[in-house]
């Protein structure tokens, strides 16, 4: 049954079917061909999206869309420019720091590229950077978003692996900060070698204070989110709802740019993005059910533990699997298919669930930067009107800090497990 499923899935991908369609159709044909009840299609699809943690996904998407509609990203961009712009390679530092700040609002790499990518590349070009370098750095820095809370992929992983979403979100904080630091360290290394330009911004205390005051309400968004999770007053779903309410509040009362039209546009964007994500979730749930019926998760766990019971060895195997899968599969689909198969064996071997989740998500975010699928590459190519091959060349040097961060998260479980353990136990 599994062989039929995989062959059909590969054929649908080859003919160009969207990932959700390929997952759903291959599962449906396999179920019917093997005499299983067709009613399971609807049952598994509905059950997979009838989940409280998944309710956080559309709410976080809505919050990011509302904050983008206020135009606050421009103020934050100018504020960060004043802080680091005069350093050699200053605009490159701005790019990374702005992605880190926006990560606390969006939780998705493609959302970061869509909201900030065009502006970041244009401003870097004005300062003398090549479009290829600017595009590559923007894509690399966007990988911070899906690791730092609110991380939509980590919430999806929590639902698929049946682990604590709060711990997973907290586990992403240190690796995200570390990744931002590594990207900035890499920029510092090449700044003099490539003679990267300094920003022409003219910092002044009055302007800095004005921008700080304007940006403060938006900058408090991740503080509100993380503080609420730590206090235990609400979980990820409640945090997402409060973030939406807060975004509406500051957008209408403080920034006064959140008009009825902007609110409707944000709702429309949320519905479209959520429909795409949940379509994948529902289709992947049916796909995973077929694999479960063929006892693939149990067989995979037995095989992995037969290879080694050392969690580091199993994590290295996971890295290899995910780096290949990330080249071909959309991240959420990969999480939903692979997480239930591999996670039990890793947990049994002693790997913390928080480490497994962050390793998986970081792997798959790197996959967004790798052909042939590489959605971040295609999105940036369209956004800045740069040939796909040029975007790939611009991104290639930044694999060094990305893979270094992945190696550290893999070899040192404390980077992910320490913070949630310290704060919640």
**For residues 76 and 16, what is the distance between their CA atoms, to the nearest angstrom?**
40
- Using CB atoms within 10 A of its CB, is residue 320 exposed (0-12), middle (13-18) or buried (19+)? exposed
Q: Note the pLDDT of residue 107.
A: 55
Tokens describing residue 412? 């040192």
pLDDT at residue number 404:
94
Mean pLDDT of 115-134: 81
In whole angstroms, give the CA distance from residue 380 to residue 36. Answer: 43
* DSSP per-residue string spanning 32-47: HHTT--THHHHHHHHH
pLDDT for the residue numbered 409: 94
pLDDT at 258 over 70: yes
pLDDT mean over 122-134: 85
For the chain, the first-to-last Cα distance in angstroms comes to: 44
What global pTM score does this model have?
Answer: 0.82
* Rounded Cα gap, residues 244 and 383, in angstroms: 27
Instruction: Pick from 50-54, 58-62, 102-106, 139-143 the range whose average pLDDT is largest.
Output: 139-143
Average pLDDT over residues 364-373: 78
Q: How far apart are CA 408 and CA 398, in angstroms?
A: 16
pLDDT-based confidence at 212, cuts 50/70/90?
confident
Label each residue of 365-388 as H, E or C. Answer: HHHCCCCCCCHHHHHHHHHHCCCH
What is the distance between the alpha carbons of residues 24 and 226, in angstroms, rounded to a whole number? 36
> Which two three-digit tokens encode residue 175?
């690796």
Neighbour-count burial of 202, counting CB atoms closer than 10 A to its CB (0-12 exposed, 13-18 middle, 19+ buried) = exposed
Dihedral angle of Cα 6, 10, 11, 15, to the nearest 10 degrees: 160
Long-range contacts of 301-304 (CB under 8 A, 24+ apart): 301/341, 301/344, 301/345, 301/348, 304/342, 304/345, 304/346, 304/349
Is 128 a residue whose pLDDT tops 80? yes
The answer to whether residues 336 and 364 touch, using CB atoms and an 8 Å cutoff, is no
Residue 104, pLDDT > 60, answer no
Q: Are 147 and 358 in contact (CB under 8 A)?
A: yes
Query: What mean pLDDT do residues 283-310 have?
Result: 79
Between 269 and 375, where is the model more confident? 269
**pLDDT at residue 112 tops 90:** no
């Amino acid at each position: 049954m599994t062989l039929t499923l995989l062959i059909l899935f590969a054929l649908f991908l080859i003919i160009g079917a969207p990932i959700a369609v390929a997952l759903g159709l291959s599962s449906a044909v396999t179920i019917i061909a093997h005499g299983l009840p067709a009613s399971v299609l609807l049952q598994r699809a509905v059950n997979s999206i009838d989940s409280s943690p998944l309710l956080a996904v559309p709410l976080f998407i809505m919050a990011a869309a509302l904050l983008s509609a206020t135009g606050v990203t421009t103020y934050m961009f100018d504020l960060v420019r004043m802080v680091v712009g005069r350093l050699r390679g200053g605009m490159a530092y701005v790019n990374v720091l702005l992605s880190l700040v926006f990560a606390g609002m969006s939780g998705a790499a493609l959302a970061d590229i869509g909201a900030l990518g065009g502006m970041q590349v244009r401003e870097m070009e004005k300062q003398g950077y090549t479009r290829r370098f600017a595009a590559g750095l923007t894509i690399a820095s966007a990988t911070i978003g899906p690791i730092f809370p609110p991380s939509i992929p980590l919430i999806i992983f929590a639902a698929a692996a049946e682990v604590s979403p709060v711990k997973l979100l907290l586990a992403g904080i240190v690796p995200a900060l570390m990744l931002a630091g590594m990207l900035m360290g890499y920029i510092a290394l090449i700044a003099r070698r490539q003679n990267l330009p300094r920003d022409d911004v003219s910092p002044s205390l009055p302007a800095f204070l004005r921008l700080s005051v304007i940006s403060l309400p938006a900058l408090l968004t991740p503080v509100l989110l993380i503080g609420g999770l730590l206090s235990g007053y609400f979980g990820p779903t409640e945090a997402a709802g409060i973030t939406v309410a807060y975004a509406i509040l500051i957008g209408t009362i403080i920034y006064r740019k959140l008009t009825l039209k902007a609110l409707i546009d944000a709702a429309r964007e949320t519905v479209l993005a959520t429909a795409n994500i949940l379509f994948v979730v529902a289709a992947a749930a049916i796909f995973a059910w077929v694999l479960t019926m063929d006892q693939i998760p149990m067989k995979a766990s037995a095989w992995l533990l037969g290879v080694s019971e050392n969690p580091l060895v199993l994590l290295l195997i996971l890295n290899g699997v995910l780096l290949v899968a990330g080249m071909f599969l959309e991240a959420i689909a990969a999480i939903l298919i692979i997480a239930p198969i591999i996670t039990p064996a890793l947990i049994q071997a002693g790997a913390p669930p928080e480490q497994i989740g962050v390793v998986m998500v970081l792997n798959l975010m790197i996959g967004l930067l790798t052909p042939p699928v590489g959605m971040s590459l295609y999105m940036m190519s369209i956004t800045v009107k740069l040939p796909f091959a040029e975007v790939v060349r611009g991104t290639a040097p930044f694999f060094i800090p990305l893979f270094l961060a992945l190696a550290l998260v893999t070899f040192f479980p404390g980077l992910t497990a320490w913070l949630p353990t310290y704060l919640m136990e």
